[in-house]
Amino acid sequence: MEESKKWYVIYTRPRWEKRVANDLEENGIEHYCPLTKVEKQWSDRKKWVLEPLFKGYVFVRLSSLKKWDVKLQAGVVNFVYWLGKPAIVNDNDILTIRKFLNEFEEVTLEKTGDTFKPNGRIVVATGVLMNYQGMILEIQGKKVKVLLQSMSASLVAVFKKGDLKRISK
């Protein structure tokens, strides 16, 4: 009995997504490298090119017994891991990406993970001020300026984003 196939995410060398997809195709491995149309400007002309939507990643559909063969492909760095195991992507998620790219042109990917916004409430997650709550005044790259009010005084401190947690409403 053949084990069911699942979608996994592999991490590729930088700018190797299309090459890895071609090698996987040649080796008969089911894969998906979502591409989006992007207009590039050169000094003498403009041109539309297809670029990977997810930079550095390609999806592969395999049985768990065959997944280690993929790591032998040129340009493949490793699987993307979640909780110590190669991350599995739901079939419906792959289908949704395909439908979306078929429906729209010039799709861009924007990060939504950084939820720190000015005037947002935070709690300090590490260090000597752990568990103190404050309000975000300003965001400076990977650092956040926070107003901490305590003991009838206001302190302003700069924290690394990783040292803070957003307080949900």
Alpha helices in the chain (DSSP H): 17-26, 67-70, 91-103
6-103 and 121-166: identical CATH topology? no
Quote the mean pLDDT of the chain.
84
pLDDT in tens, 24-72: 999 999 999 999 888 888 889 999 888 998 899 999 999 988 888 899 8
3-state secondary structure of 19: helix
Confidence (pTM): 0.65
115: left (phi over 0), alpha (psi -120 to 50) or beta: alpha
User: Sorting pLDDT into bands at 50, 70 and 90, what band is 104?
Assistant: confident
Q: What is the topology classification, in CATH, of domain 121-166?
A: SH3 type barrels. (2.30.30)
* Closest residue by Cα to residue 70 from 15, 28, 16: 28
* CATH value of 6-103 in 3.40.50.620, 3.40.50.2300, 3.30.70.940, 4.10.110.10: 3.30.70.940
Q: Where are the domains of the chain?
A: 6-103, 121-166
Q: Where do we find the tokens 């590490």?
A: 126
Answer whether residue 113 shows pLDDT above 60. no
Of 57-66, 71-80, 157-166, the poorest mean pLDDT is in: 157-166
Distance, CA of 58 to chain centre: 12
